[in-house]
Amino acid sequence: MVKLNADMKEAFAKMKIFPVATASKDGTPNVIPLGMVELHNDETIWITDNFMNKTLSNLRTNPKIAIYIWGPEIKGCFQIKGVTAIKNSGPEYEEMKASVNRKRPELPARSLIIVKITEVFECKPGPTAGSKLL
């Protein structure tokens, strides 16, 4: 799998809301804003499903995901692509649920979406737009 570099991890940490894109099995796109997105380690992202409907349905039939990293305090921008696994039990799920319960006990933390990073692309305008970074 791909590991984010130090600059990418710093940019990721500055994000408050993450635009997250999925697609259905037939290719219908869906984008949602998510706040509970965590860089679990250099190559894995954890996303908490509190109220997902279309996104979770999409990931069950098409496990690919894209996450956009950009903001006024971030230099440049990039897109992370990955493959997901959905967990509703087990040690990783329990760790996520306990973390959510400490921070926001009113949220259900229904599922843990584990994203293994597969590629990272440049998305700032210019001659390198769309080029593969990792």
CATH superfamily of 6-122: Electron Transport, Fmn-binding Protein; Chain A (2.30.110.10)
pLDDT above 90 coverage of the chain, percent: 93
- For 51-102, the pLDDT digits (tens) are 999 999 999 999 999 999 998 888 889 999 999 999 999 999 999 999 999 9
pTM for the model: 0.94
Backbone angles phi, psi at 123, to 5 degrees: -135, 5
What is the enclosing helix (H) or strand (E) of 98? helix 91-103
Average pLDDT, the chain: 95
Amino acid at position 133, single letter: L
pLDDT at position 124, please? 86
What does the alpha-carbon distance between residue 114 and residue 10 come to, in Å, rounded to a whole number? Answer: 20
What does the alpha-carbon distance between residue 117 and residue 119 come to, in Å, rounded to a whole number? Answer: 6
What does the alpha-carbon distance between residue 20 and residue 82 come to, in Å, rounded to a whole number? Answer: 11
Mean pLDDT along residues 112-117: 98
- Paired strand residues for 33: 19
